[in-house]
Amino acid sequence: MLKKISNIGDCGITCDFGDEVNKTINKEVIKLFNFVRDSVKTGKIKGILNYTPSYNKLIINFELGQIKSQQIIEFIKSSDYSKINLNENKNIIEVPICYDEEFALDLKRLEEKTKLNFNEIIKKHIETDFFVYMIGFVPGQPFLGDLDNSLYHDRLDTPRIKINKGSVGIVEKFCTIYTFDSPGGWNIIGRTPFELFNINKKNTSVLSPGDTVKFKSITKEQFFSFKNE
Amino acid sequence: MSNYFKVIRPGINSTFQDLGRFGLQHLGIVAGGCMDQLSFCISNKLVGNKISEGALEFAYQGPLLELVGDSVLVAISGKVNFNIIKKNGDTIQGVSNESFIISNGDQIDILSTINSVYGYFSILGGFKLNDVKGSVSTLVRAKIGPNKGDKLKSTDKIFFNRLSKKEKTKKIQFEFEQDNIIRVMQGLQIHYFLKKSQEDFFSKEYKVTKLTDRMGMRLEGQKLENTVNKNIKSEGITKGSIQVPGDGQPIILLSDHPTIGGYPKIANVITADYDKLVQKIPGTNIKFKLVDLAVAESAFQEYIKKF
């Protein structure tokens, strides 16, 4: 349920769905996100520049010369977006992952912490249907959940200076895929050769908020021979 | 004859920018775009372009460019110290916020911005740039934009559109705001901070540090005590948001900010004061003044009159 709408500066608003992070709340956020995006695309509302869903909030940025926050707040409050069927635009995407120890930098540490062996950790990871909660921080980076609770683990105490593009990491109940070489503190369990983000393609990001990701284990040979279309 | 500028020296951080790339923040792509919108638009107006035409933004030290081709009308906006070095060796001191004609073999040497950070270089007809998702803004961190998403480099060639239209040189009288007061609205998590820290934030000076770029501006001053939680559940970020990490020193998120973040935010800079803010050089002491939405909206009405 949308709890409240507040201003963020003079050209942004936040639609707040509460403090918790779970799929039920996130699906509500994505429903409103889809509604706002469709309303922008069909010209029902003008002046909106960006819409950013996260775990439990939707942030909307607008052009102050075109529209004021009060008009957007009234538009949302007077709309019945609850009828939008989230399943309509929900895709299931298979992401190949190689769990070879060359890529799975933190599997050994996770074995110690979780008291599970390598194969059990992989099995639990691969059997999970991951929901795309949100995309961002850097372009195309998905935040997926929920991990089996036996795999919950904290961030690294000292983040790595460089994590390779394609690395798959876990923290708490979330899983992420690095779309750029970048610093990071997630526990790395494998790497995908699949390019999730390419600004030059029409479909810039393979994943969208609300999609489902299923990982598929591949060998090192398959990893190196993988070709992105 | 092909017409282009030869890049002899690229400058510190020279990138092509326009007003931003919109509608993609849900995929992690920030709007970005020029830092100082008013100066950007003025550079386009000076050469008779539409105000949203892509221009070259530079910071501190700009590029040294040589024209290869026929004479063309160009302009530099901002507070900029630059020279025009004629083909015959004569050096003329340039005047910013005034368009001028440059001829084959002449060089433009953008030496430095004066007590400010950003300046803009525009050309009649605009640069020949390939847009990416409807914008020619460069996001270097993600390699998105013209010039392969990168800063200008030595040996680059800058091509431009040549119009038959003749535009006269012109001058725009332009008053830079000199004061160091930045108006802000309350942030979503202002109540995370001690009452005393809130008072400090709105009354004490904060120094702009060297750790400032297109992504953010780190400030140094009275530590802000967070009594609720050092982190929040990651949420979308808006340009001008002032976040406070665990060390209690505020960071203002600027045009190329990450799209989501997990630090509490104490305030947000109002649109009308953003251009003034981004031009503050490291070492400047700024002060925040708390205003409400009505004040911010009427300040915006005053601000857009300048365009």
Q: Where among A85, A100, A122 does a domain terminate?
A: A85
In this prediction, residue B164 has a pLDDT band, given cuts at 50, 70 and 90, of confident
Q: Is B261 exposed, middle or buried (0-12, 13-18, 19+ CB in 10 A)?
A: buried
Handedness of CA B57, B63, B68, B71 (dihedral sign): positive
Residues B139 and B278 in one domain: no
Residues A149 and A181 in one domain: yes
Residues B108 and B219 in one domain: no
Q: How far B198 CA lies from chain A's nearest CA (Å)?
A: 17
Q: Where among A44, A64, A85 does a domain terminate?
A: A85
Residues B102 and B25 in one domain: yes
Residue A86: the pLDDT is 58
Question: Which residues of A are less than 8 Å from B141 in CB distance?
Answer: 138, 180
Residues A21 and A107 in one domain: no
Determine the structural domain holding residue A169 and report its residue range. 90-225
Residues A191 and A113 in one domain: yes
Residues A102 and A166 in one domain: yes
Shortest CA distance from B20: residue in chain A: A49
The CA distance from B201 to B162, in Å, is 51
Q: pLDDT tens digits for chain A (229 residues)? A: 899 999 999 999 999 999 999 999 999 999 999 999 999 999 999 999 999 999 999 999 999 999 999 999 999 999 888 777 655 557 999 999 999 999 999 989 999 999 999 899 999 999 999 999 999 999 999 999 999 999 998 888 888 999 999 999 999 999 999 999 988 999 999 999 999 999 999 999 999 999 999 999 999 999 999 999 8
Span B35-40, average pLDDT: 98
Q: The domain spanning residue A45 has which CATH number?
A: 3.30.1360.40
Q: Where among A57, A85, A113 does a domain terminate?
A: A85
Counts of helices then strands in chain B (DSSP H, E)? 4, 20
Residues A107 and A45 in one domain: no
Span B189-210, average pLDDT: 98
Residue B168: the pLDDT is 85
Backbone phi, psi, residue B302, to 5°: -70, -40
Backbone phi, psi, residue B299, to 5°: -65, -35
Ranges assigned E (strand) in chain B: 4-9, 15-17, 55-59, 64-68, 72-77, 80-85, 91-93, 100-102, 107-113, 118-123, 157-159, 181-186, 205-212, 216-220, 235-236, 241-243, 251-253, 260-261, 265-269, 285-290
The CA distance from A54 to B259, in Å, is 10
Shortest CA distance from A181: residue in chain B: B142
Residues A69 and A96 in one domain: no
Helix or strand or coil: residue A24?
A: helix
pLDDT above 60 for B1 = no
Q: In this predicted model, what pLDDT tens digit does every residue of A188-209 receive, in sequence order?
A: 999 999 999 999 999 999 999 9
Residues B101 and B222 in one domain: no
Residue B184: the pLDDT is 98
Q: The domain spanning residue A147 has which CATH number?
A: 2.40.100.10
Question: Which residues of B are less than 8 Å from A209 in CB distance?
Answer: 26
B88 in a structural domain: yes
Facing A10 at nearest CB: one of B31, B233, B300: B300
Facing B269 at nearest CB: one of A9, A61, A68: A9
Q: The domain spanning residue B21 has which CATH number?
A: 2.60.120
Residues B206 and B118 in one domain: no
Residues A65 and A131 in one domain: no
Residues B82 and B189 in one domain: no
Q: How far A19 CA lies from chain B's nearest CA (Å)?
A: 8
Residues B141 and B8 in one domain: yes
Residue A206 CB contacts under 8 Å (≥ 6 apart), including other chains: A93, A140, A194, A195, A196, A197
Q: Where among B127, B159, B191 does a domain terminate?
A: B159
Residue B26: the pLDDT is 96
Q: In this predicted model, what pLDDT tens digit does every residue of B87-139 receive, in sequence order?
A: 999 999 999 999 999 999 999 999 999 999 999 999 999 999 999 999 999 99
Residues A57 and A107 in one domain: no
* Percentage of the residues of chain B whose pLDDT score is greater than 90: 93
Residues A15 and A100 in one domain: no
Q: Where among B125, B159, B193 does a domain terminate?
A: B159
Determine the structural domain holding residue B139 and report its residue range. 4-159
A200/B27 Cβ within 8 A: no
Bridging pattern class, strands A48-53 and A12-16: unpaired
B167 in a structural domain: no
Structural domains of chain A, count: 2
Residues B15 and B132 in one domain: yes
Facing A141 at nearest CB: one of B28, B188, B241: B28
Q: The domain spanning residue B240 has which CATH number?
A: 2.40.100.10
Q: How far B284 CA lies from chain A's nearest CA (Å)?
A: 23
Q: Contact, A81 vs B54, CB < 8 A?
A: no
Nearest to A19 by CA among A52, A54, A59, A56: A56
Residues A212 and A102 in one domain: yes
Residues B90 and B154 in one domain: yes
Residues B225 and B265 in one domain: yes
B235/A19 Cβ within 8 A: no
Vertex B158 angle, CA B2 and B151, to 5°: 165
Residue A90: the pLDDT is 74
Structural domains of chain B, count: 2
Q: Contact, B73 vs B41, CB < 8 A?
A: no
Residues A138 and A123 in one domain: yes
Residues B131 and B58 in one domain: yes
Residues B232 and B148 in one domain: no
Facing B296 at nearest CB: one of A10, A40, A52: A10
B251 in a structural domain: yes
Residues A45 and A81 in one domain: yes
Nearest to B49 by CA among B67, B65, B70, B72: B72
